[in-house]
Structure 1
């Protein structure tokens, strides 16, 4: 273990030296790599999360780690990016969105040859896309609704959790018990206290890594809805605008964009119009002028 260093900003002893310059360097690197704007108040969070990478690599200081990172292949860059976003999520988070999604699903004629296509652009550990899938099952009254969900995230570690579809029963405490019974299989024995998403639900969702700042998303178009909730808060206004400009042509004319409770897209009124609480539709020609 490296010598204990005195923290420069708070006076507590720390395992690794982590100066304000190191923190600003982290902020610059994560912004360049993932478009994430780290708040200046997040210095302690960054220290806590990235210290694990220093230990794993045997680095003696943040300066050494960041030097190594800039020389490294994509493997450590992905670990770096995975470490910093806050993957706060829950089943049926922002519950007012799901009846709106249900109405959209009911209004759209669809079958197995012409399915409804939804995109969850920040899937995290899977609670959001599986909630979308549950809403589809309940709306159509079948375990095989004509709905396909693309679920993406920049963080490869959380995507692996999402693909497994296994959650603690504590994660389901706020979900209606009838929903849990219908959509999950409870573990027994060594798996007691865990629950797995039913295979029919998992079959509706395709997971893949995607960075919203990448030049070519390669995901096609014609989405009936895009969920991009509590993601834009990490981006500066110009970056938000650029992403919204790319979302608009991917949506069907009747498509909806679902945003997070703290997000406001008033800077893009020529692209999207507020339809309901944090739900947007495409702006009409007259609204764009």
Structure 2
């Protein structure tokens, strides 16, 4: 393949991924990209990354391969109780505030995990909210998890995790909210209890879509460690769409490295990486 065609394929590929997912693929990430796509390169019998792009663009494989490519390029990094201070603010400030505002009736909180991957963030939220209820707070809640990766959504719905994945969950909470796998096929794993799974729904959603099929009175949106992969224009557009789905006084929570990204006239900073809609 000549150099001009190779560069054209590279540019077309980068633009395609950015347009479909918001993810930017700078040159210095080329090795990572090739590594993640290696299974597909082998599956179609391509001669390396350049050959794979040629198969996509010149030999009609793009339509079939693109969902698989997007799935492999999605970061899918997730941990239980990641950036735990966010969950402290949720149960110590946001929930009590909602209870006071709705008194004497118990409120129904809507929480959105907007890049839920395989569900750790959504289920961590369910755990801490269930604990708040056990402590006497009167409210109900529903959690929506959305992600661009269908493979991650399937895992999230199963809610089965390895002991290593569950290690950040305090032992008392693991005992209360997980069921240890006893069959040989599930050795070393545990599943979230039905009481939590019933509170969480998962749905496919691409943050680059112009509209989101989500309620517009959400109390809290977790949009953590996603915007860092987007360019400034896409960051602003996604934030604007997210804000439109928050109720007045609702909260947008981003990753600690993303605080400077949130610059919207309706959002006021509450604390590092937590913003409140005015």
- Using structure 2 for the length normalisation, give the TM-score: 0.87
Residue 86 (structure 1) aligned to one of 68, 75, 78: 75
* Residue 206 (str. 1) matches residue 201 (str. 2): yes
Flag structure 2 segments of 5+ consecutive residues without an equivalent: none
Higher helix share: 2
Give the structure 2 partner of residue 5 of structure 1: none
In the TM superposition, what is the alpha-carbon distance from 1:253 to its structure 2 partner?
Answer: 1.0
In the TM superposition, what is the alpha-carbon distance from 1:195 to its structure 2 partner?
Answer: 0.7
In the TM superposition, what is the alpha-carbon distance from 1:46 to its structure 2 partner?
Answer: 0.7
Flag structure 1 segments of 5+ consecutive residues without an equivalent: 1-7, 9-18, 285-289
Give the structure 2 partner of residue 107 of structure 1: 97
In the alignment, the residues of structure 2 paired with residue 196 and residue 212 of structure 1 have an alpha-carbon distance, to the nearest angstrom, of 28
1:90-239 residue pairs with structure 2 within 5 A? 90-102=79-91, 103-109=93-99, 115-141=108-134, 146-190=140-184, 191-239=186-234
Return 41-50 or 61-70, whichever deviates more: 61-70
Give the structure 2 partner of residue 34 of structure 1: 21
Q: CA RMSD in A?
A: 2.7
Residue 272 (structure 1) aligned to one of 253, 264, 267: 267
- Using structure 1 for the length normalisation, give the TM-score: 0.84
Point out which structure has higher relative CO (alpha carbons under 8 A, 6+ apart): 2
In the alignment, the residues of structure 2 paired with residue 214 and residue 198 of structure 1 have an alpha-carbon distance, to the nearest angstrom, of 33
* Residue 59 (str. 1) matches residue 46 (str. 2): yes
1:243-282 residue pairs with structure 2 within 5 A? 243-265=238-260, 268-282=263-277
